[in-house]
Amino acid sequence: MADRRAEAVRALSTALGHRFAEPRLLDLALTHASVGEGAERDARGRPFADNQRLEFLGDRVLGLLVADRLMRDFPDANEGEMSSRLHALVDKAACARAAEALGVGPAMRLSPGEAKQGGRRREGVLGDAMEAILAAAWLDGGIGAAQAVFDRAWAAELAAPPVRSVSNPKSALQEWALGQAKALPTYRILERTGSDHAPTFTVEVNVDGYAPLTAQGRSRQDAEKTAAIGLLQREGVI
């Protein structure tokens, strides 16, 4: 298993297009919090650090890189239009798609339990790791390195047609449900993972007569908004 992960890390390094002067930064970005919770130890017998602090930084790095790209690509767009595009490019689903395309999942260090539960394919795990990788590139090589990784990782997202967004997705879903003569949408928490200071919520939204949809977010509110957007998109409303 260790050999397979090492091969996956090498393949990911190539896909990222940045050669890390400090490979430990990439390794840290790929280390999930479950490793420490499972008491796994490094070669010196110390608990592994995880990628949560890098994810915190990477979230801000991503926002800056996306905002800069939108300013250059859409010189005539107003603030509202750019905000809509930015939201679609920085949300957890976009980060996870970028991570999956690069092969982040097989390169991650997870606890055995998290791996068995499908952590290498989980949207929240992949999305957080992708943000952590951007932070690792920033710390290793500055904004130029982070920009190069972003340009590769988000190429497909940037090339895709812009997704129509709504300012209040939960209200939009409520109005749509009432328009279909259905009861108000309901939300329930399916899972809460991660540490107390960096949790991930998995939420399910239900509208009578339609298949439920699940989504993740850093807070219950964010997860519910993402779920509402996902259902509206799936049903062709937006």
| 3-class SS string, the chain | CHHHHHHHHHHHHHHHCCCCCCHHHHHHHCECHHHHHCCCECCCCCECCCCHHHHHHHHHHHHHHHHHHHHHHCCCCCHHHHHHHHHHHHCHHHHHHHHHHHCHHHHCECCHHHHHCCHHHCHHHHHHHHHHHHHHHHHHHHHHHHHHHHHHHCHHHHHCCCCCCCCCHHHHHHHHHHHCCCCCCEEEEEEEEEECCEEEEEEEEECCCCCCEEEEECCHHHHHHHHHHHHHHHCCCC
Identify whether 131 is a catalytic site residue. yes
**Annotated active-site residue in 27, 50, 55, 59:** 59
Give 82: exposed, middle or buried? Use CB within 10 Å, 0-12, 13-18, 19+.
middle
Q: Which amino acid is at 231?
A: L
**Annotated active-site residue in 123, 131, 140, 157:** 131
Identify whether 208 is a catalytic site residue. no
Tokens representing 148 are 């190069």
Catalytic residues: 59, 131
